[in-house]
Amino acid sequence: MFEIKNLKASLADEDKQILKGMDLTIGDGEVHAIMGPNGSGKSTMSYVASGKPGYVVDEGEVLLDGVNLLELDPAERAAAGLFLAFQYPVEIPGVGNMTFLRTAVNAQRKARGEEELNAAEFLKLVREKAKSLKIDADMLKRPVNVGFSGGEKKRNEILQMAMLEPKMCILDETDSGLDVDAMKLVSEGVNALRDGKRSFLVITHYQRLLDHIKPDVVHIMADGRIIKTGGPELALEVEHNGYADLLNEVA
Amino acid sequence: MAVTEDVAKEGIEQETVDAVKTVGEKYKYGFETDIEMEYAPKGLNEDIVRLISEKNNEPEWLLEWRLAAYRRWVQLEEPDWAMVDYPEIDFQDQYYYARPKSMMEKPKSLDEVDPKLLETYQKLGIPLREQMILAGVEGAEDIPAEGRKVAVDAVFDSVSVGTTFKEELAKAGVIFMSISEAVQEYPDLVRKYLGSVVPVSDNYYATLNSAVFSDGSFVYIPEGVKCPMELSTYFRINAENTGQFERTLIVADKGSQVSYLEGCTAPKRDIAQLHAAVVEIVIMEDADVKYSTVQNWYPGDEEGKGGIYNFVTKRADCRGDRAKVMWTQVETGSAVTWKYPSCILRGDDSQGEFYSIAITNNYQQADTGTKMIHLGKNTKSRIVSKGISAGRAQNTYRGLVTMHPKAKNSRNFTQCDSLLIGDKCGAHTVPYIEVKNNSSRVEHEATTSKVDDEQMFYCLQRGMDEEEAVALIVNGFAKEVLQALPMEFAMEAQKLVAISLEGSVG
Ligand SMILES: Nc1ncnc2c1ncn2[C@@H]1O[C@H](COP(=O)(O)OP(=O)(O)OP(=O)(O)O)[C@@H](O)[C@H]1O
Ligand SMILES: [Mg+2]
Q: Which ligand is nearest to the CA of A16?
A: 1
- Mean pLDDT value of segment B159-171: 70
- In this predicted structure, which of B142-156, B166-180, B305-319 has the lowest mean pLDDT? B142-156
The kind and range of the H/E element at B167 are: helix B166-171
Using a 10 angstrom Cβ sphere, with 0-12 exposed, 13-18 middle and 19 or more buried, the burial of residue B77 is: exposed
Q: How far apart are CA A44 and CA A55, in angstroms?
A: 9
Task: Band the pLDDT of B304: cuts 50, 70, 90.
Answer: confident
Residue B219: per-residue pLDDT: 94
Which is more confidently placed, B267 or B175? B175
- pLDDT per residue as tens digits for the range B345-381: 999 999 999 999 888 888 888 888 999 999 999 999 9
Q: In the predicted model, is pLDDT for residue B26 greater than 70? A: no
Q: What CATH number does residue A19 fall under?
A: 3.40.50.300
Ligand 1 residue neighbourhood (C-beta within 6 Å)? A 11, 18, 36, 38-44, 54, 87
Q: Out of A50, A98, A108, whose CB is closest to B6?
A: A98
Residue of B nearest to A99 (CA): B10
- Mean pLDDT value of segment B330-349: 89
Which is more confidently placed, B89 or A195? A195
DSSP collapsed to 3 states, A52-103 = CCCEEEEEEEEEECCEEHHHCCHHHHHHHCEEEECCCCCCEEEEEHHHHHHH
Task: Band the pLDDT of B488: cuts 50, 70, 90.
Answer: low
Judge whether B356 and B368 are in contact, CB under 8 Å.
yes
Dihedral over alpha carbons B398, B340, B490, B413 (to 10 degrees) = 50
Backbone phi, psi, residue A163, to 5°:
-75, -35
In total, the C-beta contacts within 8 angstroms joining chain A to chain B are: 117
- In this predicted structure, which of B140-144, B342-346, B470-474 has the lowest mean pLDDT? B140-144
Using a 10 angstrom Cβ sphere, with 0-12 exposed, 13-18 middle and 19 or more buried, the burial of residue B184 is: middle
From the CA of A87, give the closest atom in ligand 1: 27
Q: Out of B9, B466, B476, whose CB is closest to A92?
A: B476
Mutating to test ligand 1, I would choose from A38, A88, A226 the residue with most ligand atoms within 8 A of its C-beta, which is A38
- Mean pLDDT value of segment B317-333: 93
Q: How far is CA B301 from CA B268, B307, B362, in A?
A: 8, 7, 8
Q: How far apart are CA B246 and CA A144, in angstroms?
A: 43
Is B458–A73 a contact, with Cβ atoms under 8 angstroms apart?
no
Q: In the predicted model, is pLDDT for residue B104 greater than 80? A: no
Q: Which ligand is nearest to the CA of A206?
A: 1
Minimal Cα–Cα distance from B3 to chain A, Å? 6
Q: Which residues of A touch B458 (CB under 8 A)?
A: 86, 89-90, 92
Residue B153: per-residue pLDDT: 66
Judge whether A104 and A164 are in contact, CB under 8 Å.
yes
Q: How far apart are CA B2 and CA B404, in angstroms?
A: 43
> Could you tell me the residue range of the domain that residue A8 belongs to?
2-250
SS3 B334: coil
Residue of A nearest to B482 (CA): A94
* Residue ranges, chain A, pLDDT below 70: 251
Is A95–B458 a contact, with Cβ atoms under 8 angstroms apart?
no
SS3 B218: strand
Minimal Cα–Cα distance from B26 to chain A, Å? 21
Is A119–B453 a contact, with Cβ atoms under 8 angstroms apart?
no
The kind and range of the H/E element at B429 are: strand B426-435
The answer for B 475-504 residues in CB contact with A (under 8 A) is 475-480
Torsion sign (Cα): A133, A135, A141, A143: negative
The kind and range of the H/E element at B280 are: strand B278-283
Judge whether B309 and B337 are in contact, CB under 8 Å.
no
Q: How far apart are CA B208 and CA B297, in angstroms?
A: 20
Is B2–A141 a contact, with Cβ atoms under 8 angstroms apart?
yes
- Give the total number of structural domains in chain A: 1
Q: In the predicted model, is pLDDT for residue B19 greater than 50? A: no
Indicate the pTM of the whole model. Answer: 0.80
Residue B56: per-residue pLDDT: 86
E strands in B68-225: 98-100, 150-156, 159-163, 175-178, 217-221
Within a 13 Å sphere around the CA of A249, how many CA atoms are in the beta-carbon half? 11
Amino acid symbol at A154: K
Backbone phi, psi, residue A244, to 5°:
-50, -50
Q: At what angle do helices B204-212 and B46-55 cross, to 10 degrees?
A: 50
Q: Which residues of A touch B464 (CB under 8 A)?
A: 75, 103-104, 107
Q: How far from each other are the two terminal CA atoms of chain A, in whole angstroms?
A: 31
From the CA of A221, give the closest atom in ligand 1: 21
- pLDDT per residue as tens digits for the range B432-459: 999 999 999 999 999 988 888 899 999 9
Is B13–A99 a contact, with Cβ atoms under 8 angstroms apart?
yes
DSSP collapsed to 3 states, chain A = CEEEEEEEEEECCCCCEEEEEEEEEECCCCEEEEECCCCCCHHHHHHHHHCCCCEEEEEEEEEECCEEHHHCCHHHHHHHCEEEECCCCCCEEEEEHHHHHHHHHHHHHHHCCCCCCCHHHHHHHHHHHHHHCCCCHHHHHCEECCCCCHHHHHHHHHHHHHHHCCCEEEEECCCCCCCHHHHHHHHHHHHHHCCCCCEEEEECCCHHHHHHCCCCEEEEEECCEEEEEECCHHHHHHHHHCCHHHHHHHC
Is B477–A94 a contact, with Cβ atoms under 8 angstroms apart?
yes
Q: Which of B158-172, B196-210, B416-430 has the highest mean pLDDT?
A: B196-210
Q: How far apart are CA B51 and CA B136, in angstroms?
A: 24
- Mean pLDDT value of segment B257-267: 77
Tell which of B1, B4, B14, B453 to mutate to test the A interface (max A CBs under 10 Å).
B14
> How distant is the alpha carbon of residue A53 from its chain centre?
17
The residue whose CA is least distant from atom 13 of ligand 1 is A39
Q: In the predicted model, is pLDDT for residue B491 greater than 90? A: no
Whether the complex's predicted ipTM surpasses the cut of 0.90: yes
Q: In the predicted model, is pLDDT for residue B202 greater than 60? A: yes
Is B472–A90 a contact, with Cβ atoms under 8 angstroms apart?
no
Q: How far apart are CA B324 and CA B380, in angstroms?
A: 10
Q: Which residues of B touch A75 (CB under 8 A)?
A: 460, 463-466
Q: Which residues of A touch B475 (CB under 8 A)?
A: 94-95
- pLDDT per residue as tens digits for the range B392-407: 888 889 999 999 999 9
The answer for B 133-152 residues in CB contact with A (under 8 A) is none
- Mean pLDDT value of segment B244-253: 92
Is B468–A103 a contact, with Cβ atoms under 8 angstroms apart?
yes
Residue B131: per-residue pLDDT: 60
Which is more confidently placed, A6 or B243? A6
Residue B17: per-residue pLDDT: 41
Interval between CA A45 and ligand 1 midpoint (Å): 10
Residue A171: how many other CB atoms lie within 10 Å: 28
Interval between CA B58 and ligand 2 midpoint (Å): 76
Mutating to test ligand 1, I would choose from A34, A43, A174, A176 the residue with most ligand atoms within 8 A of its C-beta, which is A43
Is A94–B11 a contact, with Cβ atoms under 8 angstroms apart?
no
From the CA of A13, give the closest atom in ligand 1: 3
Residue B99: per-residue pLDDT: 67
Residue B9: per-residue pLDDT: 36
Is B7–A98 a contact, with Cβ atoms under 8 angstroms apart?
yes
Provide DSSP, B59-73. Answer: -HHHHHHHHHHHHHH
Judge whether B263 and B232 are in contact, CB under 8 Å.
yes
Residue B368: per-residue pLDDT: 87
Residue B121: per-residue pLDDT: 59
Q: In the predicted model, is pLDDT for residue B119 greater than 70? A: no
Q: In the predicted model, is pLDDT for residue B7 greater than 90? A: no
Q: Which has the closest alpha carbon to A218: A29, A43, A34, A21?
A: A34
Q: Which residues of A touch B460 (CB under 8 A)?
A: 51, 73-75, 78
- pLDDT per residue as tens digits for the range B39-85: 777 888 898 899 889 888 999 999 999 999 999 999 998 888 878 78
